[in-house]
Structure 1
Amino acid sequence: MYNSQLPTDGSTAPMGTSMGSGLFNPRTERHSNERIRVLLKSFGLRTSLIRLKVIDALLTAAESDRSLGVRGVHSHLLDLDIPLSFLSVREVLKRLCSEGVITLNPDKSYSLHPQAFAALHGE
């Protein structure tokens, strides 16, 4: 199929660019989704976008020495333009907690279970 934006000299990429670089490189994400996928699989859970984002939010909070409750996780996701309902976030947190991936702390905040944290960091 003809694409008017590609050069006609037989090359496949415009001059001065490389196919492996750019804004859409999946390796530029803050946390590797692949690590989170493996973690979920090790706990017998399927991967979903909301689970990936919730765990990523908890990891980000842990790196900043903060703790997040349901509202905090929901607000974090809204700040990232991920439009999930409060109820959806709460249900995912409850499910991850019941499966042992995360723990509910006495102050009603959530954190990764030590075993899950160690698995994510290769310990």
Structure 2
Amino acid sequence: MYNSQLPTDGSHAPISTAIGSDTFDPPAERHGNERIRLLLKSFGLRTSLIRLKVIDALLRAAEQDRSLGVRGVHTQLLELDIPLSFLSVREVLKRLCSEGVIVLNPDKSYSLHPKAAAVLQQA
């Protein structure tokens, strides 16, 4: 039986049993996502990758004193190599607005609702 992980030149592959100390440590991004997970849960929403990324994009923009509309959020996600369609981003933003997590500003940009911001401050 052929095993693609074994060398084919007749030599034996070295077997390593050492596991790095960081093997089971979650990446730094996961800790940031944990706050957003708690936020979504507090609003009765399930966690999804697109919701995490959209909220994260809005938070990053707010930290940089920028505002993002649908196109801005979509562009920022594409720059991070997160291939989501424009329509998907728009639908997630609309759903987060209807649930009170974010608000649509008069200039058509989105920002975190003050209640959601308070939840994140506590997390």
TM-score (structure 1 length as normaliser): 0.82
Render the CA deviation track for 1:2-52: whole Å, top value 9, x for unaligned.
Answer: x94533xxxx316xxx3326xx95342186111111110110111100000
Instruction: Name 1:6's counterpart in structure 2.
Output: 15
Q: Which runs of 5+ in 2 are unaligned?
A: 1-5, 7-12
Total equivalences in the alignment: 113
3-state DSSP of counterpart to 1:20: coil
Return closer, same or farther for 1:65/1:5 CA change in 2, 3 Å cut-off: farther
- Using the aligned pairs only, state the percent identity: 76
Render the CA deviation track for 1:41-68: whole Å, top value 9, x for unaligned.
Answer: 1101111000000000000001000000
Once superposed, which parts of structure 1, at least 4 consecutive aligned residues long, lie more than 6 Å away? none
**In 2: Cα distance, 1:99 partner to 1:108 partner:** 17
Return closer, same or farther for 1:6/1:99 CA change in 2, 3 Å cut-off: same
CA RMSD of aligned residues (A): 2.3
TM-score (structure 2 length as normaliser): 0.82
Does residue 74 of the first structure (1) align with residue 74 of the second (2)?
yes
3-state DSSP of counterpart to 1:29: helix
**In 1: Cα distance, 2:32 partner to 2:26 partner:** 9
Instruction: Name 1:60's counterpart in structure 2.
Output: 60
What amino acid is the match of 2:21? Answer: M
Q: Which runs of 5+ in 1 are unaligned?
A: none
**In 2: Cα distance, 1:65 partner to 1:5 partner:** 52
1:1-123 alignment, distance < 5 Å: 4-7=13-16, 12-13=17-18, 18-20=20-22, 25-29=25-29, 32-122=32-122
**In 1: Cα distance, 2:83 partner to 2:55 partner:** 16
Return closer, same or farther for 1:67/1:30 CA change in 2, 3 Å cut-off: farther
Larger Cα Rg: Structure 1 or Structure 2? 2
